[in-house]
A and B are shown apart, each in its own frame.
Chain A
Amino acid sequence: MSEQKLLIGAHAPFWHTGDSITKKNLNLIIAALPAAIYGIWMYGMPALRVLTLSVGCAMLWELIMNLIMKRPISIGDASAAFIGLVFGMMLPATAPFWIILVGTFIAIVVGKQIYGGIGCNPFNPVLVAMAMLLLSWKDVIDFNAALVNYDFGFNMFYPLSAVKSFGASAVSNYNLHSLFMGKQAGGIGAVFGIGLLIGGVYLILRGYIKWEISLSFLLGIYITAYLFHIHNPEKYAIPLFHIVTGYTLLGAFFLAPEDSSSPVNLIPKIIYGAGAGVLIVLIRNIGAFVDGTVFAILIMNVANPMFDKIRPKVL
């Protein structure tokens, strides 16, 4: 197996926690587990099979690409496992197996490996896959349609779909605390707000994600949603509603701060995070999609290389 580096896809400045890649990715997985386990507890086997198949397939695609490209085997760094886990967490529990095969292929092969592997991907691989699925098989990711056979005793109408279709009055019967505690329809690991928050705070305290991105991301959502809400309270939901629904908290702590697709300096990080937050609410409130998290962060990924040119400095 060739150890020779064919391409070096990196540019300064760099940001380092002092840990190995494997340790960092294992910590990311640990931080995501509370929300994932909640999803398994809620949906049972359907959620378990989606998450395990997603993790396994992501690792398998990584291994296959390593062998095809004659590169060192890299599944041991847990990067592919983390990508598979987060991808699975964004899917409904009823996701068919083929969507996992296709999605993990797009994430690992198209989103990561063709750029040179870990650290070289300009976009978050999970979001590349989700964007493709949302554009190609929208009905499979439609949580209202996917979860019609589940009844947990709380309102299973996907909250973001309700507010987009019927206005803020339609979501007045949703309790913010219940939504935050995971009592809502959505992705397997995207609904348990408190679990995602605990995981996110853990990652911030350990230095694995950049808190400036998460905070500015949430503030961007809050302020933009607030402006919409005071403009038309009957049509647009309150800011906290946007914080605790959809992929918001998953995006704030597990998607937006992805290493190679996010900036490292203070001002760029704030612009990147806040920009994604603003775009999410714009897409949700006046855009074509129910949840804008996937496309908003991808758009900021595109702009990311330019952000780090703003007042660059050595870290």
Chain B
Amino acid sequence: MGMKRGNVIALVIMGICIIIGIIGYAAFPTKNPEKPIRIMLMTTAGNVLFDHKAHFTDYGAECMDCHHDISDDTERPEACSKCHLPQESEEAPKRAVAFHKQCIGCHEDQGMGPTDCSGCHLR
């Protein structure tokens, strides 16, 4: 049984779409920027969308202010999560403690930025 012309055209379009889609996923892998723009911190108390770029461009924060493990700004800082693990460890304070201390402490010191839970944690 011959196919209708409309179905033949649709088959061709379907093939083209799938090929473009596969090539798009296979040949153009998602690249993360060298410096993160925003970071979504997944937490049980509600995720936190941390605007990393705004902190070093708009608020004048230096890399060293948070990434305390580097000697100068030319060195690429490690991600916080590399040392600050979700659970307690001997190496560094656990992630939630470190973030709360760092964020709230700095916001209080600078007199700007939220200091209460609902100021950062999304519903």
Contact = CB atoms under 8 A, between A and B. Distances in A.
Contact of B38 (A55, A63, A94, A156): A156
Interface in A1-56: 1, 22, 45-46, 48-50, 52-56
A231 to B, nearest CB: 19
B110 interface: no
Q: Which of A55, A148, A151 has the most CB of B within 10 A?
A: A148
Interface stretch (A69-77, A108-116, A250-258, A293-301): A69-77
| Tier of interface size on chain A | 35 or more
Contacts of B42: 139, 145
Interface string A146-163: 001111000011000100
Contacts of A139: 42
A91 interface: no
Main secondary structure of the interface of A (DSSP, over half): helix
B3 A73 contact: yes
Nearest to B51: A157
B14 A97 contact: no
Contacts of A94: 30
B33 A63 contact: no
Interface in B1-54: 1, 3-11, 13-25, 28, 30, 32-33, 36-40, 42, 46-47, 49, 51, 53
B116 to A, nearest CB: 11
B119 interface: yes
A148 B21 contact: no
Contact of A46 (B22, B30, B47): B30
A49 B24 contact: yes
B20 to A, nearest CB: 4
Interface in A57-80: 57, 59-60, 63, 73-78
14 contacts: A1-B1, A46-B24, A49-B28, A52-B20, A52-B21, A52-B24, A53-B17, A55-B17, A59-B13, A75-B7, A76-B5, A144-B40, A145-B40, A145-B47
Interface of B: 1, 3-11, 13-25, 28, 30, 32-33, 36-40, 42, 46-47, 49, 51, 53, 118-119, 121-123
What are the 4 tightest A-B residue pairs by CB atom distance, in nearest-first order? A49-B24, A53-B21, A76-B6, A56-B17
